[in-house]
Structure 1
Amino acid sequence: MTIAVELPSLGESVYEGTVARWLVAEGDMVEVDQPIVEVTTDKVDAEIPAPSAGMIEQILVSEGDVVEVGAVLARIDPDAKPSATPSSEPASVPAPPSAPAAKSPPEPASAPTRESAAAQAPSVPATP
């Protein structure tokens, strides 16, 4: 069973909105009330939350599309297993840790510069 994500009423006399940006992609796991899409109207900009936890099964409208209040924007599968998404994420996760590992050595290099600055400071105040 899938759950429809509909464009809610965003205010009095607001009958449609423009999908500005998707905050999730098909296959992503979401939690209840997690913002999943940004919608703009002539009166308000709003983030539409997920009505249920689960996996984004299908995104039905594209960024830039104008949709009416009540239109189905996406479908969520509440029975999807979260382990399916993490198995694809670990492939992405190892890449970022190697990049921070490369960034880590420069950070310790900046710490010694602070120490050398501190070492210079005591020699200057030594003369009253």
Structure 2
Amino acid sequence: MAIEITVPTLGESVADATVARWIKKTGEPVAADEPVVELETDKVTLEVPAPAAGTLGEITAAEGATVEVGAILAMLNEGAAPAAAPAPAAPAATPA
């Protein structure tokens, strides 16, 4: 299931922010509460965490874009990230 990553409330009288940089890239695994994007306002720089564990999907707000509170920044494909393929087991030793 896809979850929206949105611009959080930024504080009194702050209505928008600029996407400073994406910490994670599309397709990368993300843990719950792990920072995925950095936003800047005229008063503060903040990191937006992932709302759940999963894989970062489509990024809808490019670096440098101005975004309003509540705007969708990206989509998160919820669920465990694909596990790496297990290493092949060593062959059993044959008796001599």
User: Is TM more than 0.5 here?
Assistant: yes
Identity of aligned residues (%): 48
Instruction: Report the Cα distance in structure 2 between the residues aligned to 1:71 and 1:5, rounded to whole angstroms.
Output: 9
RMSD: 1.2
The structure richer in strand per residue is 2
Q: Report the Cα distance in structure 1 between the residues aligned to 2:8 and 2:60, rounded to whole angstroms.
A: 15
Structure of greater Rg: 1
Mapped to 2, the partners of 1:39 and 1:28 lie a distance apart of 19
Mapped partners of 1:19, 1:52: distance in 2 = 20
The reply on whether 1:69 has 2:69 as its aligned counterpart is yes
Higher relative contact order (CA closer than 8 Å, sequence separation 6+):
2
For residue 80 of structure 1, report the CA deviation from its aligned partner. Answer: 5.3
Question: Letter of the aligned partner of 2:75 in structure 1?
Answer: R
State the TM-score, normalizing by the size of structure 2: 0.83
Higher helix share: 1
CA–CA separation in structure 2 for the residues paired with 1:39 and 1:81? 25
Given the two structures, how large is their TM-score scaled by the length of structure 1? Answer: 0.63
Match of 1:57 in 2: 57
Segments of 5+ residues of structure 2 without an aligned counterpart are: 86-96
The list of structure 1 runs, each at least 4 consecutive aligned residues, that deviate by more than 4 angstroms after superposition, is none
Gap regions ≥5 residues in structure 1 = 88-128
